[in-house]
Amino acid sequence: MALVEIEVNGKNMSSEVEERQLLVHFLRDDLNLTGTHVGCDTSQCGACVIHLNGNAVKSCSMLTVQANNASITTIEGLADGDKLHPVQEAFRENHGLQCGFCTPGMIMAAVDIIKRKPNLNEKIVREELEGNLCRCTGYQNIVKSILAAANKV
């Protein structure tokens, strides 16, 4: 067992974890933050994307102990109370979801894309979304949502 101290969604916490525990399972099972989804456990689908120290990472590809002393934001920490983050709002307004399974990871990836790429267009968004899979759509409304949000952030 190892002691980790992590800030998650603005709250400091410490916890004893197994050294081999994946971060996604710590968030879901230990902290009950189930918005971070497990889609593949092989970092192929992007359903588990979170922000670690301000950068998008796939939480199924890292151990909880690697996040020691880090700051994490999950989909649950993106909104400000009842006020949705502009990317969440854009996904709602532009129908950027279907079944919703990939949506948290897509939104977390989108926030990171918008932060890193100031002059977005459809080609850039599609390239940046590589590694985030949606099995329901052709990505058209996801891309539309991200482009709409980029103008509001």
Answer whether residue 139 shows pLDDT above 90.
yes
Give per-residue pLDDT as tens, 10-45: 999 999 999 999 999 999 999 999 999 999 878 899
**Better-predicted residue by pLDDT, 128 or 97:** 128
- Count CB atoms within 10 A of the CB of residue 84: 16
Residue spans of the domains in the chain: they are 2-77, 86-150
**What pLDDT score does 138 carry?**
76
Task: For tokens 């916490």, name the residue.
Answer: 13
H or E segment and range at residue 141: helix 140-150
**What pLDDT score does 116 carry?**
97
Residue 136, strand partner residues: none
Please state the rounded mean pLDDT for residues 69-76: 98
**46: three-class secondary structure by DSSP:** coil
What's the chain's average pLDDT? 96
**What pLDDT score does 153 carry?**
77
Can you tell me the distance from the alpha carbon of 150 to that of 153, in angstroms, rounded to the nearest whole number?
Answer: 6
Answer whether residue 67 shows pLDDT above 90.
yes
**What pLDDT score does 151 carry?**
86
Which CATH number is 86-150's, of 1.10.150.120, 2.102.10.10, 3.30.70.370, 3.30.450.20?
1.10.150.120
52: left (phi over 0), alpha (psi -120 to 50) or beta: beta
How far is C-alpha 97 from the chain's CA centre?
14
Answer whether residue 79 shows pLDDT above 80.
yes
Query: What CA–CA distances, in Å, run from 71 to 11, 67, 129, 135?
Result: 9, 8, 23, 30
Q: Is 2-77 a domain of CATH 1.10.645.10? A: no
Answer whether residue 152 shows pLDDT above 90.
no
CA nearest to 51, candidates 109, 125, 127: 109
**Better-predicted residue by pLDDT, 92 or 97:** 92
